[in-house]
Amino acid sequence: MSDYQTARLALGARLRELRAESGLNGKTLAQQLGWPASKVSKIETGRQAPSVEDVRAWATVLGTPEAIPELTGRLRTLETHYAAWRRQLAAGVRARQEAWQATESNAGTVRNFETACIPGLLQTAEYARHMFERTTTLHRTPPDIEAGVTARILRQQAIYTPGRDFRFLIWEAALHMVLCPREVMAGQLDRLAGVFGMPTVQLGIVPLGTNLTVVPTHGFWLFDDRLVMVETIGAELRLTDRAEIGLYQTVWDELERAAVTGPQAHRVIARARAGLDLM
């Protein structure tokens, strides 16, 4: 079952719940809506996606207009691009990198927060190679590793383009997450330390032990004020709802306030690098 189908089933279950709470059966509700009875059944069982007008009419007839914002919000979520990684990577990691590049090229300001790994645009080829190997093995997708690494390095040319604006925040734990051989991680941390001073890049580290007003449950990307992209273990989400984007902007602002930059951030990276030498 795809993620889209799963979300559609969840919406159908919520609509069925509202109907049951009202005491109406499906046939009666369909009559009051002027629909064929089969439409109610198909929506409730996830075989048909309702329209915005459908969910509004559904809630109005049931006497629960207060549920309309929730239902339309669920529908917007359903319509959001939510793609399982197995589907996303069916054409290989190179194609996925090229799609990311297209998204980045249309943004004036790109913001990226990572909790467990180094941001893709700042990865060395060796580190990226190990990340792709883990990803394709987990999702059992075509292992076009070298083509993916080449595409990722090409993506990185954007951070050297005058006038671009890339902002990165990294949870300190990601500096200690060894997802590759230690010598590769050492090279990756050296590369990260070399980013400071680039005119197109701002890098901050959110230190362990710092007081936070938000919970950074996962990494995310913000493209201007129009798109959020989230990578979960199983899928990639593309969020365009204004309210959801606003939430991510708030979380970004709080994390940015907690982050250290410049020489302080450089020292945090240096400590992580020194820790590798001691192991």
Q: What is the pLDDT of residue 1?
A: 44
**pTM listed for this prediction:** 0.74
List the structure tokens of 116: 């467990």
Question: What domains are there in the chain, each with its CATH number?
Answer: 3-79 (1.10.260.40), 82-278 (3.30.870)
Q: What is the pLDDT of residue 235?
A: 78
Per the CB < 8 A criterion, the answer to whether 88 and 236 are in contact is yes
CA distance 128 to 270: 21
Q: What is the pLDDT of residue 3?
A: 52
Per the CB < 8 A criterion, the answer to whether 173 and 115 are in contact is yes
Burial 231-243 (b: 16+ CB within 10 A, else e): beeebbbebeeee
Per the CB < 8 A criterion, the answer to whether 172 and 208 are in contact is yes
Per the CB < 8 A criterion, the answer to whether 12 and 45 are in contact is yes
State the Cα torsion 183-189-195-201 to the nearest 10°: 120
CA distance 273 to 188: 9
* Local mean pLDDT, 10-residue blocks, the chain (279 residues): 66 92 94 94 89 93 93 75 71 87 91 97 98 93 93 95 96 95 96 95 96 93 93 82 89 97 97 86
Q: What is the pLDDT of residue 89?
A: 81
Q: What is the pLDDT of residue 72?
A: 87
CA distance 233 to 235: 6
Q: What is the pLDDT of residue 5?
A: 66
Q: What is the DSSP string of 192-242?
A: HHTTTT-TTEEEEEE-TT---SS---S-EEEETTTEEEEE-SSEEEEE--H
